[in-house]
Structure formats: C-alpha cells, structure tokens
Amino acid sequence: MSRPPGKTGKRAAGFTLIEMVIVLALIGLLLTLAVPRYFSALDNGKVKVQQQNLSTMRDAIDKFFGDRGRYPDTLDDLVQKHYLRSVPLDPLTEKSNWLIVVPSDPTLGGVYDVHSATDAHDEN
C-alpha cells in the first residue's frame, strides 16, 4: 500500500494549546512564590545598607571629634576634611536627608549624631 506524496503519516512538530497553557500556569505559579521573596529581600537589603551608612557616618564623626576636639559643623565638613568620600544617600529615601542631632554644648560643633529620616527603620 503506497501513500500519496507529501503525506508521511507523522504529526506536525510543535506544542498543543493545552501544553502551552499548562506551562504558562506553572510559570505563573512559580512567579507567585518567588516575586514576594525577591521584593522582601530588596527591602531588607536597603535597611542593612542604611544601618551601615549610619554606622560609617557615626564612626567618622567620632574620629573627627577625636582628632579635632570638636564635632563637625555639617556633614559636608566630614567630606572636606577627608573623613568620608561623600555623604551617603539614605537607600530608603534615596536622598541624603539625614536628621542631625546637635551636641548639648553648641560650642563643640553642629553634628553630634545622625539618624535616618525614616524613623521606623532606624534601630541604632
């Protein structure tokens, strides 16, 4: 029994609609599990960077006081005197809007401590 030319009896290569729907459903399921964890990890990373930036600035303020016997007048003084390369940005606000705590004796300078503008994440 011979077959007509062009008809081999094999099914055309490719995926059926059902197979594609199943694959897309599985990808969607995996994304619903992974995406919230990803964004949570990003937020936790920003908080950790903020804490490190605060620690670095506080260390620079302490070194400035140890060397000069007074606190800096502004955070820019730490940059100008090479205690910091630049005033770091707060990763949560993406600005350098740090809250400055002045010393109890105003003759000692203007920056005793720094806090984040986002008080909810500042644990130091």
| Residue 33, helix vs strand vs coil | helix
pLDDT, tens digit (0-9, with 9 covering 90-100), for 64-101: 999 999 999 999 999 999 999 999 999 988 888 899 99
Rounded CA separation 101/105 (Å) = 12
Rounded CA separation 48/83 (Å) = 22
pTM of the predicted model, to two decimals? Answer: 0.72
DSSP state of 100: E
Strand-pairing partners, residue 5, are: none
pLDDT, tens digit (0-9, with 9 covering 90-100), for 20-46: 999 999 999 999 999 999 999 999 999
Q: For residue 58, count CB atoms less than 10 angstroms from its CB and return exposed for 0-12, middle for 13-18, buried for 19 or more.
A: middle
Does residue 121 carry a pLDDT above 50? no
Encode burial over 105-116: b for 16+ CB neighbours within 10 A, e otherwise.
eeeebbbbbbeb
